[in-house]
């Protein structure tokens, strides 16, 4: 009998249910969990099946790390990283040393952001990314481009640590409140992110779409 794991089901829950079905039907129960076949009988112990599964996962991972496929993937990843690093060095050499603030009050707000995130690696990563992104956009703006023209391109160049979508949205929120061109960035981001017309609504109300598109948060 085949058992099909449910979405989000853990290996522990899966093995327990398989053994229960095997006991109730007195048959052998098989399943594919993350591509690995597991088998349960009426006399099986769920914890032992789970242990074998974990060992198989570990062996599969080790085998992949030693494979030519992994080597090629790693080389390609390193090549992309080198290309991005070179692009960052090229673009940042033309960028101002610091981003331009919308006002003295905006600069103070930025300093407050930094103080409130002191000691937070996650928060600092967002602010570092936001500031680098703003500087790179300013370099493009000085060449005649608009925020909408260069926001996407420079966001990728600025992403030297691998930011998430949520971090990207947080950076937009911070820049919208402090950066000289923050309002243009806010409006671009809302339209670029929207699925329907929620970005247009956010632009009218002065809000910033959250990264998950679940709500609109007004800037303070």
pLDDT in tens, 25-36: 999 999 999 889
Number of separate domains in the chain: 2
How confident is the model over 122-140, as pLDDT tens digits?
999 999 999 999 999 999 9
* Predicted pLDDT at 211: 55
* Predicted pLDDT at 85: 75
Its pTM surpasses 0.75: no
Going through the chain in order, the beta strands assigned E by DSSP cover 29-33, 36-40, 207-209, 216-218
How confident is the model over 192-218, as pLDDT tens digits?
887 778 778 887 888 887 654 433 333
> How far is Cα 47 from Cα 130, in angstroms, rounded to an integer?
47
44 contact partners, CB below 8 Å, separation of at least 6: 15, 18, 19, 22
The two beta strands, 216-218 and 207-209, are: antiparallel
**Nearest CA-CA partner of 163 in 129, 116, 210, 207:** 129
- Mark which of 65, 88, 106 sits at the end of a domain: 65
Residue 81 lies in a domain: no
Residues 198 and 136 grouped into a single domain: yes
> How far is Cα 211 from Cα 169, in angstroms, rounded to an integer?
5
Residue 4 lies in a domain: no
Question: Which residue do the tokens 């007004």 mark?
Answer: 218
> How far is Cα 33 from Cα 49, in angstroms, rounded to an integer?
12
Backbone angles phi, psi at 66, to 5 degrees: -95, -5
> How far is Cα 85 from Cα 132, in angstroms, rounded to an integer?
13
Question: Which residue do the tokens 């598109």 mark?
Answer: 213
> How far is Cα 178 from Cα 127, in angstroms, rounded to an integer?
12
Confidence class of residue 5 from pLDDT cuts 50, 70 and 90? confident
Residues 101 and 53 grouped into a single domain: no
Q: Is 161 exposed, middle or buried (0-12, 13-18, 19+ CB in 10 A)?
A: exposed
Backbone angles phi, psi at 171, to 5 degrees: -65, -40
Contact 216, 209 (CB under 8 A): yes
Which residues span the domain enclosing 58? 11-65
Residues 192 and 109 grouped into a single domain: yes
Cα of 182 vs its chain's centroid, Å: 22
Half-sphere exposure of 50 (CA within 13 A, CB side): 13
Question: Which residue do the tokens 């002065």 mark?
Answer: 206
Contact 135, 96 (CB under 8 A): yes
- Residues 145, 137, 201: CA angle, nearest 5 degrees: 85
How confident is the model over 60-91, as pLDDT tens digits?
889 988 999 989 988 888 887 777 776 777 77
Residues 128 and 214 grouped into a single domain: yes
Average pLDDT, the chain: 87
How confident is the model over 138-196, as pLDDT tens digits?
999 999 999 999 999 999 888 887 888 889 989 999 999 999 999 999 999 988 887 77
Residue 27 lies in a domain: yes
Residues 54 and 118 grouped into a single domain: no
């Amino acid at each position: 009998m085949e058992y099909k794991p449910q979405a989000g089901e853990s290996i522990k829950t899966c093995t327990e249910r398989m053994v229960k079905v095997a006991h109730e039907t007195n048959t052998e129960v098989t399943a594919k969990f993350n591509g690995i076949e597991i088998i349960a009988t009426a006399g099986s112990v769920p914890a032992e099946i789970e242990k074998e599964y974990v060992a198989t996962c570990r062996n599969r991972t080790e085998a992949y790390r030693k494979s030519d496929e992994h080597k090629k993937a790693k080389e390609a990843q390193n090549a992309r990283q080198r290309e991005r690093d070179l692009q960052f060095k090229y673009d940042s050499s033309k960028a101002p040393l610091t981003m331009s603030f919308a006002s003295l009050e905006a600069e103070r707000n930025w300093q407050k952001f930094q103080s409130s995130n002191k000691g937070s690696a996650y928060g600092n990563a967002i602010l570092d990314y936001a500031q680098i992104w703003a500087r790179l956009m300013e370099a493009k703006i000085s060449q005649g481009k608009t925020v909408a023209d260069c926001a996407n391109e420079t966001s990728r160049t600025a992403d030297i640590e691998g930011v998430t979508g949520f971090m990207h949205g947080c950076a937009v929120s911070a820049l919208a409140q402090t950066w000289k061109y923050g309002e243009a960035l806010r409006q671009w981001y809302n339209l670029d992110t929207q699925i329907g017309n929620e970005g247009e609504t956010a632009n009218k109300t002065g809000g910033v779409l959250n990264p998950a598109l679940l709500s609109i948060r007004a800037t303070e």
